[in-house]
Each structure stands twice: as C-alpha cells, then as structure tokens.
Structure 1
Amino acid sequence: MIKTVLLLTFLNFVLIETHAQYAFFPNSGTITYERRFHVQNYLKRNYLNKADLETWDKMFVDEVVKNGPVELGTKHSLKFYDGETLFEIIKEDYPSNYRSALNYLPVFNDSKTYKNQKTNMFSRLIHFGGDEILLKDTIPNVKWKYTDEYRNIAGYDCRRANGLIQDSIYVVAFFTNQIAMPIGPELIQGLPGTILGLSVPSWNINMFATQVELNNQPVSSQLTKGKKVQPKSKVEIKELLRVSVYDWMDEKAFQKQWSKFLF
C-alpha cells in the first residue's frame, strides 16, 4: 500500500513537472482594448463645481454637458514582441459630438507609445498644437500593492493590483501571468504579467482588453512616417512647455496638464 502511494505521488510529480516544462507562455501578439471615458462625470467633478471657471470655458463645458455623449468609447491596440511594445489608438469614424468632448480627455488620445523592457526606455509621439513632440526617457515606475481580487478578462484569469503613478494618481490594474510579460497599456506596467484591465477612478477612465491575438510579428520603434522629429527628455519638454506654452498657468494647473505626458 505504501509503495503504491509513493508510486502515485511520484507519477503525479512527474506529470506536473512535464506540464510545467511544456507550458506555453506567449511573448508576442496583439491585445485590443476598449477604453471608456465617462465624460459627464469628469466634467461635473473637475469643471462645473469650479467657482473661478472663466466664461468661455463655462460655455464650452456647458455645450459638452448638454449635447455631448455620456461617455467616450475608443479602441486601442498593444503590440508586444520579445520585450518591446507599441500602444496606439485604432482609428475609427467617431460621432461628431465626440470631437468637443475629446478636448477634455485627461490623456492624449492619438499618441503612440513604444517601450523597450530590455533598455527600460520609452518613446512617445504626441500630436500637440499642430506639431509633433517626441518624448524619450526612462519608463516611469509604478508603486504596486497586490490584492486577493480576481477577474476573468478576455478569457484570461487576472489578479487585481492597486498602483500609484506620478506619486499621486491612483490606478487599478488586473494582470494575468498567463502572458508573463510585465507590460501594459500606455506607460503602465511593472507587474509579473500583462495588464488586461486598467482603471483610473479620478479620471473616470476604464480600459479592458476585448481580444488577445497571439502572433509572431516584431514591433517597430519607428513612430513617425518619414518626418524627422528630434526626441527630447522629460526635463527638456517640461521646461519647454512651462516657458512657452503654459506660462499663463499656475503650478497646480500646469502639473495637471503635465500628467498627460507621463500616463
């Protein structure tokens, strides 16, 4: 009897080891996300209650509240390959009332972000005031705290982690170790698995994966099409914006605008 139990235990151990040895952990593919921005809640929280809101701003906000959508829905893709990722919007024909509402989105809607895990560097192309800005710097750290909450997203079992970015912005992420790359949308990453769900409560933004396609397609680091844009660091771009673009803003308002560049 003892020999039988030992034999079964040994065989079970061998099967587990064999399964682990041949388990498939993909390192390349494309993840499609749907991002929802509850524009009405965001405007009511950040604009309508401001006593010092200027007349022109109030007119624009009132127009979006009256005729704009309740929320904005956009689709995005995250391509990943051997430690490199490219995150960008999937261009679609959005309703006309989206245009004004997009101006209040607390992140850049049409930016492209390339990240390289091996070098810990990122490049982000931003369309800003009719020009293109290429930001290149080290990938920001996120302070994570794990929880015991779980959710299935796009067919993958995910665990929740709460994070803090830029020392002040609270985020909620759901990551899966079934895709063992420590990656995620935008500049959010650093968990032992891929982030398939992301929420920024203070910005009324939720982003969840709707599809995961595994493939073997390399990721390109070229963010511009034939046009040469000189990359600048966070320090250089922040100083440029502070002096020449947002010089009329107080420090609190400027930091709010600057957070768009680092999300």
Structure 2
Amino acid sequence: MKMKLYIAILFLFVLGFQQANAQYAFFPEQGVITYDKTVHVKNMLRRQISMMKETDFQRKFFEDMLTKVPETAVLQRKLTFSGSESILEPLAKDQPAMVAQLLRFGFLDYGTKIYQNLATKQTSMTLEVGGSPIAISDSLTNVKWKITNEYRNIAGYDCRRANGVTLDSVYVVAFYTDQIPLASSPSTLHGLPGMILGLVVPEQNFNIYASKVEMTGTTVTDNLIKKKASAFTREQTRNKMREILGQWLSEKQFGLFFAAMML
C-alpha cells in the first residue's frame, strides 16, 4: 500500500515538473530574439528610379548604383523582451562595399533603436538620417489587424498570419506566435496575441524573420533618450522632415521615406 502511494506521489511530482518546464519552454516572458532583415536592394533602387524625372540629377546616380549592388542585403536586429517591455537594436554585420555605402546614406536602414512599453502604451525611438540623430517619444503606433488561417513555422515556433495596415496606408504581413505572450515585434508594430517572428512589408521591399529565440533572464530599460523634453513626436518629426526634404522629394517619395523611418 505504501509502495503504491509512493509511486502515485512520484508520478504527480514528475507530471508537475514536466508541466512547469513546458510552461517555461513555451510561454517565456523574458528572452532575446535575433532577426534577419532581408532588403531587396535592386527593387528599392528601381522603385526610386521609377519615381524620378529624366532630368532629376539623382537619377544617374541611382542608375549607376543599380548595376553594382547585390540583389539583396541581410541586416540583423536583436529584440530583448521582459514582461510588457521590449527594446530593439541593430547588430553590427560586415557588408559588401556598395551595401555599406548605401547604409551610410541611410538608404537601406536607419540604425533605429526602438523601446516599447505595452502596459503604458508608450514608445521611444532613436535613429540617424544623413548623419543627424533623431529622437522620438510618442504613444504606440496604430495598427489595424486581420488574423487569417494561414500558418508557418519560424525559428521552431508555430506562427499564424495576420494582415495589417499602419501609418494610415502601409500594408504589412505578420506571423506571430502565442507561445511568446508579449505582443511586440522587430519593428514599431504591436497588438497581436503574441510575438511577431515574421514580418513582410511589400511597399518597403523588405522582410524580417527570427533566426534564433533564446529564453533567458533579461532586463529592459527605457534609456534611449536622456532628455525626453528634447524628443519629437512622430507628427513633429514628419513635419520637420517634410520641411527639409520637400524641395527634393515628391509627396510619394517622401511618404515611402517616412514610412521606412517609422517602421
């Protein structure tokens, strides 16, 4: 009788241990995710050229670049998350000479760092445009999502597809997993029932997919902007950039440029 009781207690203990481990493995609240951002470089250049006039002095520069750049470039980002907070940062990666030059121009990426607090619905961003640093402090971006019945596996996690619209008209495709409960992403997007591990932005000619998910204890702090009073809102940033670039870019070109900054 005692032996049967002992076996029953041992069984319950083992079952409880397995469940606890399963919860830790599949529902992490802290960790680090590495993402690969693939930019379709030639497509981006072709898009820019198509919006330029034959007399535009920049057209010859972009047409020359088109013959030299690779079809795609892969950049890396790291997302650290804990509780309701996350911070996204670029990772240094050696690039071919022409890609490195485009990165210096801010054409492929802006080296953006993004802090999000889903509990307070606030975000902070820092980036660089033309060598000038920009700091943004605002509420979270608005995203309208429609969840579909399409699935795919990313970095070992089953993810469900959602189609979204943000920044008024930018169409995005996201793949999220509810096995990681924080509703964040490798961008300014948020609001799905779990972490976004895959993101496609057709208009911007890039996609981002998680390559590694690490469950580890982390701490996230909003320390991107030392003096919040000196930061702009998204709308203030847009108005300022439009004032500076209005004479060089058409409305459509500027819209694409600003959306790339804010994503």
Q: TM-score, normalised by structure 1?
A: 0.84
Quote the Cα distance in structure 2 between the aligned partners of 1:220 and 1:169. 29
Is contact 1:175-1:193 (8 Å) kept? yes
Contact 2:110 2:261 in 1 (8 A): no
Unaligned residue ranges in structure 1 (runs of 5+): 1-14
Tell me the residue number matched to 2:191: 190
How far apart are residue 142 of structure 1 and its match?
1.0
Q: Which residue number corresponds to residue 230 of structure 2?
A: 230
Tell me which residue corresponds to 1:255: 255
Counterpart contact for 2:147–2:162, Cα < 8 Å: yes
Cα separation, partners in 2 of 1:241 and 1:47, compared to 1, 3 Å: closer
Say if 2:78 and 2:89, in contact at 8 Å, map to a contact too. yes
Match of 1:28 in 2: 30
CA contact (8 A) 1:64 1:100 kept: no
Q: Is the 8 A contact 1:64 1:101 kept in 2?
A: no
Partner of 1:129: 130
- State the match for 2:89 in structure 1: 88
Q: Does residue 144 of structure 1 match 2:151?
A: no
Whole-angstrom CA distance in 2 between matches of 1:218 and 1:53: 52
| Post-superposition offset of 1:130 | 2.4
- CA distance 1:66–1:229, shift in 2 (3 Å): farther
Contact 1:47 1:53 in 2 (8 A): no
Q: Which amino acid aligns with 1:219?
A: V
Alpha carbons of structure 1 residues 256 and 201: separation in structure 2 relative to 1, 3 Å: closer
Q: Is the contact between residue 39 and residue 205 of structure 2 (CA under 8 Å) also seen in structure 1?
A: yes
Residue 70 and residue 21 in structure 1: after superposition, are their counterparts in 2 closer, same or farther (change >3 A)?
closer
Identity %: 35
Output aligned runs, 1:152-171, within 5 Å: 152-171=153-172
Match of 1:214 in 2: 215
The alignment covers a number of residue pairs equal to 244
CA contact (8 A) 2:178 2:195 kept: yes
The TM-score, its normalising length taken from structure 2, stands at 0.84
Q: Is 1:37–1:105's contact at 8 Å kept on the other side of the alignment?
A: no
Closer, same or farther: CA 261–104 of 1 in aligned 2, 3 Å: closer
SS of corresponding position for 1:186: coil
CA positional deviation for 1:28 = 0.8
User: What is the DSSP-based 3-state SS (H/G/I as helix, E as strand, rest coil) of the residue aligned with 2:237?
Assistant: helix
Counterpart CA distance in 1 for 2:254 and 2:56 is 20
- Unpaired runs of 5+ in structure 2? 1-14
State the one-letter code of the partner of 2:23.
A
Give how far 1:54 is off. Answer: 4.1
CA distance in 1, matches of 2:99, 2:21: 49
Structure 2 distance, partners of 1:160, 1:236, is 33
Distance 1:251 1:59, change over 3 A: closer
CA drift of 1:66 comes to 0.7
